[in-house]
């Protein structure tokens, strides 16, 4: 959901890192972890390119692969990154399958998801954000297939903000992870009921631990009006990655 804030501030011309110090700390941590001069970033759930701007400020000439399945958002992404020759964009979703999937288009494009909206979403997030207005077909691909097809040697940072399908994306990267090609994962974890079929945080943590990742830190907690935790971001580091 932080993409809503990113999008608004981006179009108003503000530096996204100034939204709050916790967001800034999450990206500073990624910069700290990376010792390589040549950083490759996979941006899953690119939306309008909000985090592309951040990563281009954070690193010197990073190789960024941005994935946005919704065509309208993809067209905005295309316009926003046209001055960045180091960014490659793909009108496709990352998932645990390659093929055609249903995609739920919501009132706020930042909340679009492969997953249907939960009946509790309006109560938990407010009106006019997650109400689905149409369902369209999109194309999807696994990270494993994409890495093989495009001869990707390493993914230094895998950023995932895909509105409840983070678990499936990690599932679709099992061979890439086994080959020690993914070093750091930065992802959003939704806790409160938002989408039908969203995974619980403990399921995501267990999947990552089984794949050799350890939790480095957590960021960007958001809470409902009643004080209930809604979501947070987390950085995980693979055991093969020496950042010391």
Distance between CA 61 and CA 37 in Å, rounded?
Answer: 9
What Rg, from alpha-carbon coordinates, does the chain have? 17
In CATH, which superfamily holds the domain spanning 2-238? Vaccinia Virus protein VP39 (3.40.50.150)
What's the predicted TM-score (pTM) here? Answer: 0.91
Distance between CA 208 and CA 54 in Å, rounded?
Answer: 25
CB 192 within 8 A of CB 229: yes
Q: Is 196 exposed, middle or buried (0-12, 13-18, 19+ CB in 10 A)?
A: middle
Overall size of the chain counted in residues: 244
Q: What is the 3-state secondary structure (H, E, C) of 73-101?
A: HHHHHHHHCCCCCCEEEECCEECCCCEEE
Q: What is the pLDDT of residues 189-199, one digit of tens each?
A: 999 999 999 99
Domain ranges of the chain: 2-238
Q: What is the pLDDT of residues 87-139, one digit of tens each?
A: 999 999 999 999 999 999 999 999 999 999 999 999 999 998 999 999 999 99
């Amino acid at each position: 959901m932080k993409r809503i804030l990113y999008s608004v501030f981006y179009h108003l011309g503000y530096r996204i890192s100034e939204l709050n110090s916790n967001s800034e700390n999450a990206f500073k941590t990624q910069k700290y972890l990376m010792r390589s001069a040549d950083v490759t970033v996979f941006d899953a759930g690119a939306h309008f390119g909000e985090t592309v701007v951040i990563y281009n400020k954070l690193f010197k000439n990073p190789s960024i692969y941005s994935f946005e399945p919704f065509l309208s958002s993809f067209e905005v992404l295309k316009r926003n990154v046209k001055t960045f020759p180091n960014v490659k964009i793909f009108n496709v979703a990352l998932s645990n399958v390659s093929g055609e999937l249903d995609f739920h288009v919501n009132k706020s494009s930042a909340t679009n998801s492969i997953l249907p909206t939960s009946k509790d979403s309006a109560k938990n997030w407010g009106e006019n954000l997650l109400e689905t207005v149409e369902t369209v077909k999109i194309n999807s691909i696994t990270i494993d297939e994409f890495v093989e097809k495009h001869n990707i040697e390493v993914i230094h940072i895998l950023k995932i903000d895909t509105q409840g399908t983070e678990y499936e994306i990690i599932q679709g990267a099992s061979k890439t992870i086994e080959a020690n090609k993914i070093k750091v994962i930065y992802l959003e974890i939704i806790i409160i009921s938002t989408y039908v079929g969203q995974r619980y945080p403990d399921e995501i943590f267990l999947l990552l631990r089984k794949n050799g990742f350890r939790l480095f830190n957590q960021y960007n907690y958001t809470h409902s009006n009643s004080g209930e935790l809604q979501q947070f971001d987390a950085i995980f580091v693979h055991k093969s990655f020496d950042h010391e």
